[in-house]
Copies of this chain bind each other. A is one copy, B any other.
Amino acid sequence: MIIDCHGHYTTAPKALEDWRNRQIAGLKDPAAAPQASELAISDDDLRASIEVNQLARMKERGSDLTIFSPRASFMAHHIGDFRASATWAAICNELCYRVSRLFPEHFIGAAMLPQSPGVDPRTCIPELERCVRDYGFVAINLNPDPSGGHWKEPPLSDRHWYPIYEKMVEHDIPAMIHVSTSCNACFHTTGAHYLNADTTAFMQCLTADLFKDFPTLRFVIPHGGGAVPYHWGRFRGLAQELKKPLLKDHLLHNIYFDTCVYHQPGIDLLTKVIPVDNVLFASEMIGAVRGIDPDTGFHYDDTRRYIEAAALSADDRYKIYEGNARRVYPRLNATLKARGQ
């Protein structure tokens, strides 16, 4: 089985975006604000948005199951207040849940949280628990910068975030550390802000002892870990200067990297430098980079091709495709086992 741990609902019906635009307009003009119930998307709409997109590509490329969460760039936690984020997160998560019900073999949910800049993350817990208990979601996406490129919250190692971590541990779910749209003109969303956030999150963990407080907490750092594997020597050396343990002991029981790196040399480096137990297959397909690479004739985000071509044993490839995901996402594993998979 091939599990893609990083998929977003980037192809949701246009009605979703229209509703969001009305919600945003309603922040200034409450009379324009829509009710959640005004959003009408039928099961047929959902099927149509998935069948010719993610599902078609999954079949074409040979992946079986995607851990599916709301579109990352649309989370936009910097817009409005907690109430706006709460309504928006509930709507987006419900759509992912419905997709997972329509295609239970192929999609399982990961929750967007109703984060809002400066608001206690504790406020996200009801939505988190609803997604786990009612929707069978197996993970969350945690945004370390709900301000959208202004980086005003404390680092991930701060007690500020502990209420979320306590719930993650209680429900045995990992978090993908994933920012949303940048509203800072310095940072292009998918070309700078996403990668910077990945690097930043890793370094926030490196300088702290978060995983002493939460030995079973698990973070998935997407986009191949930002700059981290490429600069693995730098990070090993910084840990050494800071008198931290070796990275494999200090962080690699808790931090995992996905394979959203869109060319062969990048995947070769990732799989060479990072222990195979810490690498999870992912594509973020129909995401930031949708085109076809003229050098290969295949989609940039068809990451399975790179994994196939990398110097890996069959056992290593199994871990990256399936084994590690079953370990990092125990609720996913339990769901699969209940189905006899």
User: Chain A residues in contact with chain B, CB under 8 A?
Assistant: 144-145, 149-151, 153-155, 184-188, 190-192, 195-196, 199-200, 203-204, 206-207, 223-224, 226-227, 229-238, 240-241, 261-266, 268-269, 272-273, 288-291, 293, 295, 300-301
Contacts and interface: CB of A to CB of B under 8 A. Distances in A.
A203 B182 CA distance: 13
A51 to B, nearest CB: 24
Nearest to A300: B237
A184 B263 CA distance: 33
B241 A290 contact: yes
Contacts of A238: 188, 190-191, 288-289
Contacts of A184: 151
Given A227-B227, A265-B273, A233 B192 contact: no
Total identical chains = 2
A155 B186 CA distance: 5
9 contacts: A190-B238, A191-B203, A191-B207, A196-B196, A196-B227, A199-B199, A233-B262, A236-B300, A265-B269
Nearest to A232: B263
B233 A263 contact: yes
A150 B291 CA distance: 33
Contacts of A206: 188, 191
Contacts of A273: 263, 265
Among all A-B residue pairs, the 3 with the closest Cβ atoms: A233-B263, A237-B289, A233-B262
A241 B264 CA distance: 20
Given A155-B185, A199-B195, A266-B232, A291 B240 contact: yes
A341 B151 CA distance: 48
Contacts of A288: 234, 237-238
A192 B199 contact: yes
Nearest to A188: B203
Given A233-B261, A266-B230, A200 B186 contact: yes
Contact of A237 (B207, B230, B291): B291
A98 to B, nearest CB: 29
Given A191-B207, A227-B230, A237-B289, 13 more contacts: A154-B185, A155-B186, A188-B204, A188-B206, A191-B203, A191-B234, A191-B235, A195-B226, A223-B234, A233-B263, A233-B300, A234-B300, A236-B263
